[in-house]
Amino acid sequence: MSKEILQTIHYRRTVNQNSFTDQEISQEDILTILEAANAAPTHKRTQPWRFVVFQKDGLTRLGSELSRIYKTVTPAEKYTEQTEINMGKKATDANVAIALIVNYTGDVPEWEELAATSCAVQNLWLAAHALGLGGYWATPGLINHLGSFLQLEENQKCIGLFYLGHHNSEPREPARTPIADKIRWEK
Mean pLDDT per 10-residue interval, the chain, length 187 residues:
80 88 96 98 96 97 97 94 92 95 97 98 96 94 96 98 94 86 94
Per residue in 69-90, pLDDT (tens digit) is 999 999 999 999 999 999 999 8
Model pTM? Answer: 0.93
pLDDT of residue 1: 59
Please answer whether residues 103 and 156 qualify as being in contact, where contact means their C-beta atoms are separated by less than 8 angstroms: yes
Go through the domains of the chain in sequence order and give each one's CATH number.
Answer: 9-167 (3.40.109.10)
Q: What are phi and psi of 170, to 5 degrees?
A: -85, 145
pLDDT of amino acid 121: 98
Task: Report the alpha-carbon distance of residue 175 to residue 92 in Å, rounded.
Answer: 29
Check residue 68 and give its pLDDT: 96
